Structure 1
Amino acid sequence: MTTDIVTPTRGKYDNVSVSQRIERLPLTSFQRFLSFCIFVVAFFDAVDMGAMNFLLPVLAKEFHLTSITTGLLGSIGLAGMLFGALVAGPLADKIGRKTVLMWSIVIWGIAGFGLAAAWNINSLLGFRFLLGLGLGASYPIAITLLPEFLPTQARGKYLTVLEGLAPIGVICAGLITALVLPLVSWRWVFVIEAVPSLWVFVIKRYVPESPRWLESAGRKEEANRIMDNIETEVQKRHGQTLPDIENTAKVEPVIEKASFTELWSKTYFKRTIMLWILWPATMFGYYGMNIWLTQLLVAKGFTIIKSINYVLLINLGAIPGVILTIYLIERAGRKAVLIVALIGTAFSAYYYGQATNMTTLISFGLSLNFFTWMMWPSIYAYTPELYPTRMRGTGCGMSSAVGRVGALAGPYVTGVILTTTMGQSMVFTVAAGTFILAALAVIFLGPETKGRTLEEVSS
């Protein structure tokens, strides 16, 4: 199974859109394999980002960092993610999803090996920024590319699975750290987590360019060739003739270029405002809490290894959260699930910050991760559905980039709060407020997308 293409019947599909061809396809092992290739990228993105949460106290000790400098180390990777998302989204709309995704993987692989070789705080900060650059580019492109291969009935579920792999990646990062640190240097954690960048060769060989993007760029013949190959593979696995395409009205290729200003046009204004509140608010709260979780437990008197183990334990709450979201996302809809998740995350964050003993700390920690990992898959399923193909990369990339501003500020603000008399509980109170703000934005500005094609939602 490769991305090599078969010769199409010239003119056969001139009167139908790529969307019509994709929507009629039954789900088979072929689409699942394409999705798996993209899932792996998202999974190792999460592993690489999660590693810093667990290694932060180790690196703070190794390089004699103050709490402010430690916060900077947490934030610098998020600054890289901001720039990565800013560049990658519009670039993917201009030159294609696949090329940008591959280069982003190469960048975070190089950065991972660089972190393993870091010799002082400046090199650590530099490679951490580069890692963020690659991760910030790859994640929004993954959520842009995946739904463009899938029919409506599978889109929400598969996007939820993609983002649902993130907590598993974080747990794996913690397990790797907990297993490696007692045996060898922390540098080997970065080596182990950089090796999966070799997956770029699998992407190159097996994942085609998005046919929806090719069509939107006016490259209809290329889009048809890829669709011919996809249909051949699907029919081979399905074992039956594919259903007819009902509407065969002439479809003209859309050659309009994506424009930043179009995000603010009458059609997309409310959606853009909603996303530009949702993303920075949730990322500020999430990264402000999470990148400090291990460090906060160390401050309570636990050893580094025991703190890592406790963080791993509360991360297990994410798994049922993801599973429930996969079940609900097509039934209740993205908007409803997201609102419940945001409110649940806010209350859990507040009470986690008020916990005075280990039992309540773990209980509300599990609850916090349960609702958090209902929230993230819902956001990542929701965002790419709100813009048309020609500007989906720009819309996702810009939303992610604006979100990274919040993510960048969160750990630093947390570091500042911890130097005052307000203490740890204020960190989680502030985070809870940001999740409530995000919920209000979705309630009043967000449309529902359940059961509608990408083209219907974005029109």
Structure 2
Amino acid sequence: MSSTSSTKRIDVQQLIDSGRFTGYQFLVAFLCFVVIALDGFDTAIIGFIAPSLKSEWGLSPTQLGPLLSAGLVGLAAGSFVAGPLADRIGRKMVLVLSVLFFGIWSLASAYTDSLAMLAFFRFLTGLGLGGAMPNAITLTSEYAATRTKSVVVTIMFCGFTLGSGLGGVLAAHMIPAYGWRSVLLFGGYVPMAFAVVLLFLLPESVRFLVLRRPDSDKIKAIIGRITPTTRLEGASFYVPESPAAVKRSPVAQLFARELSFGTMALWATFFMSLLIVYLLTNWLPTLFKDAGFPIAKAAMVAAMYQVGGTVGAIVLGWAMDRYNAYKVLGISYLTAILFIALISFQYTDLLILNVAVFGVGFCISGSQIGANALAASFYPTSNRATGVSWALGIGRCGAILGSMMGGALLGAGLGFSTIIMLLAVPALLASVAIYAMYGKYANQQVRTVAA
């Protein structure tokens, strides 16, 4: 890379964009990947221990319901709190505290014998989980070059699937040998230890430092690690954003004239998308079993949804960096309707069913991960963490509704085809919301909206 004049003001994002993806940026993405994996593990953990809890404590499905939803409520609440805090005091500190927080309460959950206390501890665990995810997304986004931002964020977020899948594998081995509490202990001690690693290895967002703490000595040190050949003596740094935005509430900025429409459209997308994701994640094996599939085949077909989501995240992230991100996601959500219809009307053919479930995972879960990257690109540095976390918070409300809807629709006696086909409605609404953003911000690069 060419050297920079010592008297020149340096645009930090332009500097990152003009260089290659360095080992230091990879370190940031990897640490955030591990955070998301731990987040996925601790989010899914309650589902893996639920059968043992039900047996040991003699619980009914009705009693398990509040326990399973307590974490989701905490996730939503944590998202709403953590974002504005991170935009004020920094992404790193909120992320470290969030990981420490959900580790502590997962550990506490292992030592309770009360259903009410376990539900309360799951809520507190959810607060930490809800704070960790948006800040990991934000940090990864702010260390990635614009040309690769979406694919870097989506690959990083695949840690969630890895973590939740690892939870199932560990639970299958640990619960028979050591009991269900051992899984909670693992979900407590590992994040607590990793929080210490983050404290020493994870840097603060350099964009945040330039915007909020322009005199910080850490800025040159970080930029020197990213672009070691750039001359920084006497240089000053900036990000191309309005200084007035720093003084405004990060929540108020969500509804600024240039962002308000996009905020509402993103909220609609996240709500509808996560409604589908959680309804399918929680109820797909049950729906297939009720449709007459053996348990083993039902589980295998349902697993294709997770595989599709992982592949979709990477492919769609790649496409978002090369084409218009709004059109990529809008088409993906629209295509999901075709796969939903295929599941609804052709579920007796196992080969077609596997392809269709993979397709829904690719288009819905993959697009949701892509929407995380879109939100991180859409908002400016001054309220990026708030924008991502509040979109996720609204999305978690959709997740809670989706989890409840599965049971309600089954209880109403609706058939397999009807329940699956109903998912076409939120998929269509998510596509409409993304296309509305495309219409509003047509011919604009996402980064110019955030600048």
Structure 2 match to 1:33: 27
Matched to 2:279, the amino acid is G
- 249-258 or 189-198, which deviates more: 249-258
Cα deviation, residue 423, structure 1: 4.2
| Contact 2:70–2:123 (8 Å) recurs in 1 | yes
Which residue of the partner structure matches residue 335 of structure 1?
326
Out of 306, 309, 321, the position equivalent to 1:315 is 306
The question of 1:431 aligning with 2:426 is answered no
Aligned counterpart for 2:404 among listed residues 412, 428, 431: 412
Equivalent residue letter for 1:430: L
Change (3 A) 1:317 1:272: closer
- Distance between the aligned counterparts of 1:39 and 1:186, measured in 2? 26
CA distance in 2: counterparts of 1:250 and 1:168, whole angstroms: 34
Q: 5+ unaligned residues in a row in structure 2: which ranges?
A: none
Pairing 1:26-425 to 2, within 5 Å after superposition? 26-197=20-191, 198-217=193-212, 219-222=213-216, 225-236=217-228, 240=229, 255-296=246-287, 311-312=302-303, 314-353=305-344, 355-356=347-348, 359-425=351-417
Residues 174 and 371 of structure 1, relative CA distance in 2, 3 Å threshold: farther
Moved more, 194-203 or 382-391: 194-203
Once the two structures are superposed, residues 59-107 of structure 1 have per-residue CA deviations (whole angstroms, 9 ceiling, x without a partner) of 4454444444444333221110110001001111111111111111011
Other structure's SS at 2:249 match: coil
Q: 1:356 to 1:126 in 2, by over 3 A?
A: farther
Q: State the Cα distance separating 1:430 from its structure 2 match.
A: 3.0
| CA–CA distance in structure 1, aligned partners of residues 203 and 415 of structure 2 | 51
Q: Which residue of 2 aligns with 1:4?
A: none
Name the SS for the 1:16 alignment partner.
strand
* Alpha-carbon shift at residue 318 of structure 1 (Å): 3.2
Alpha-carbon contact 1:94-1:257 (below 8 Å) kept: no
TM-score normalised by L of structure 1: 0.84
Bigger Cα displacement from structure 2, 298-307 vs 357-366: 298-307
| CA positional deviation for 1:140 | 0.9
Count of residues in correspondence between the two structures? 442
User: What residue number does 1:458 align with?
Assistant: 450
**Inter-partner Cα distance in structure 2 for 1:287 and 1:27:** 34
Amino acid paired to 1:115: S
Give 1:440's match in structure 2, choosing from 432, 441, 451: 432
Which residue pairs with 1:8 in the alignment?
none
How far off its partner does 1:309 sit? 5.5
Q: Give 3-state SS (helix, strand or coil) of 1:172's partner.
A: helix
Deviation readout 1:401-448 (Å, 9 max, x if unpaired): 111111122111222222221144444333331111111110122467
Change (3 A) 1:336 1:52: farther
Q: CA RMSD in A?
A: 3.4
| TM-score scaled by length of structure 2 | 0.86
Task: Tell me, yes or no, if the aligned pair for 1:330 and 1:451 is still in contact at 8 Å.
Answer: no
